[in-house]
Amino acid sequence: MTPELRAIVDRFMFDQATFTHIVSSLPADGAARAVTGPGWTIGQLVAHFATSQERYAAAIARWLAGEEVLPPDYDQDTENAAVAELHRDAPLDDSVRRLRESLRALFAAFHRVPDERLDQPFARGTALEAFHAWEHHYLDHALDLIDAAPEVRLDPLVLNWVLHANLGDGRSRDRQRQLLAELRAYYATLDEDEDEDEEEEEEDDGEDGGA
């Protein structure tokens, strides 16, 4: 496996770990919350990621076998809508379990890709170009997910995930900057509280000394 493909695998590992951390941090009814971007619930988003990773692994298997990567009538929006409807009431634990299994299947598929085939045609580009497009999938939904999960908005793991990400479109970068501004305001408040505590301690020490 080339270093570039290894980096793609690592990206999937990191993104899925952070995503599942967010989901597991929600209250019992959190999976029913709406994610504004796609209009799905958080639970449906979990199923969407799991299905996508299963499709990626299957696409690699077809490509390696010399078959068409995508069916001629494949329509991504139609497929995504069907997955969301199918998993509208799916238990969250089942979807998370499937998500983990799908990532293991995708890793196995990546490991079967010969290095010399990475620059060969794969759907609308080369294989490596397709894999790079896939690796951004979690981040494509990251900010919408965080909006639906305010409990983790300033979680260090989550902040490390999104603030250091290279988000491609202008609106996402604006939202990224807004989140950074919130973080700075939050820490400024903590600094003010610490200053007040120190002033109170100094006043108490002064009163004790005068007594």
Domain ranges of the chain: 3-152, 167-211
Put simply, whether the predicted model's pTM sits higher than 0.75 gets the answer yes
SS3 state of residue 187: helix
Using CA atoms, how far residue 95 sits from 37, 41, 88, 133, 192, in Å, is 20, 13, 11, 23, 43
* Helix (H), strand (E) at residue 126: strand 125-126
Distance CA(73)–CA(68), nearest Å, equals: 12
Q: What is the pLDDT along the chain (211 residues), one digit of tens a residue?
A: 999 999 999 999 999 999 999 999 999 899 999 998 888 999 999 999 999 999 999 999 999 999 999 888 888 899 999 999 999 999 999 999 999 999 999 999 999 999 999 999 998 899 999 999 999 999 999 999 999 999 998 899 999 999 988 887 788 889 889 888 988 998 888 866 565 555 555 555 555 655 5
The CATH number of 3-152, from 1.20.120.450, 3.40.50.300, 1.10.10.10, 3.40.50.280, is: 1.20.120.450
Distance CA(193)–CA(5), nearest Å, equals: 47
